[in-house]
Amino acid sequence: MIYSADKAVEYSSMHDLFSKMEREQDKSAFFAQNGTALPFTPQQCTLDYIEKRSPAETHIGVSGSNCALVYLQSFDANWRAYVSQKKPANMLEIITSAPISEENHIMANGFANAWLIQKECKNSCNVALFYYPEFYYQLGLHVSLATLLSLIAYALWKSKGYPVSIPAARTKQAAGGCGKVAQTDKPPP
């Protein structure tokens, strides 16, 4: 679940967090640990759409700025948020768009990811949440697939009996060390 928060409530301990959560009536708030530096007071943003492409990639249309985008997924510093004016079509477009700085990626509600969207999004933009280790997984998958296809193509090419260039003469050592070059009609084994 993803929501836009317009209020930050500070807490000092987990017990304090739970008691404040019980009392807090405003469901658009998020809870930040004491000492978390918030560069601005969050305002409400409108989430135009949420498109979950995979467990590691989600796109959100955001209208407004100076808001906190809370993603209720266990906090991990490997989650990245990228901002672009249009919805990226593929992973390469995501990781080449403008990232939200790591200072603006904070823990919310004691466990979740939150990004403070300030100047990255002027009026309306697309925010792509991406789990960065997925990039390495996808890269490895593509390299493995390319290697497998290359090996299959090579095996098919070899099985067709296409000639392979073999040197015409053998070296002195291969001819038994007698100084003569062995002449044979048979290809080497």
Highest mean pLDDT among 17-31, 106-120, 156-170: 106-120
- What are the boundaries of each domain within the chain? 2-131, 134-162
| Residue 78 banded pLDDT, cuts 50, 70, 90 | very high
Q: Are 24 and 13 in contact (CB under 8 A)?
A: no
- Residue 147 is predicted with a pLDDT of 95
What's the CA gap between 72 and 51, in Å, rounded? Answer: 15
In 3D, which of 63, 69, 68, 11 has the Cα closest to residue 42?
A: 68
Phi, psi of 43 (to 5 degrees): -120, 165
**Residue 68 clears pLDDT 80, i.e. is over it:** yes
Cα-Cα-Cα-Cα torsion 159, 165, 168, 174, nearest 10 degrees, comes to -70
Residue 182 confidence class, pLDDT cut points 50, 70, 90: low
pLDDT(58) > 70: yes
**Please, which pLDDT band fits residue 37 given cuts at 50, 70 and 90?**
low
On average, the pLDDT of the chain sits at 77
d(CA 56, CA 170): 58
Q: Is the pLDDT of residue 157 over 60?
A: yes
Question: According to DSSP H, which parts of the chain are helical?
Answer: 14-23, 91-95, 133-159
In the numeric block, which tokens belong to residue 23? Answer: 């009392």
The token duo for 117 is 């969207």
* Residue whose pair of structure tokens reads 């809870």 in the numeric block: 31
Q: What is the mean pLDDT of residues 90-94?
A: 76
Cite the beta strand spans of the chain per DSSP E: 2-5, 7-11, 29-33, 46-54, 57-63, 67-74, 79-84, 98-99, 105-108, 112-117, 124-131
Mean pLDDT (whole number) for 93-99: 79
User: pLDDT tens digits for 98-115?
Assistant: 888 888 888 888 888 988
**Spatial distance between the Cα atoms of 107 and 130, rounded to a whole number of angstroms:** 16
For the segment 6-22, the average pLDDT, to the nearest whole number, is 70
**What is the C-alpha separation between 34 and 12, in angstroms, rounded?**
5
127 to each of 68, 78, 113, 147, 155, how far by Cα in Å? 12, 16, 14, 34, 45
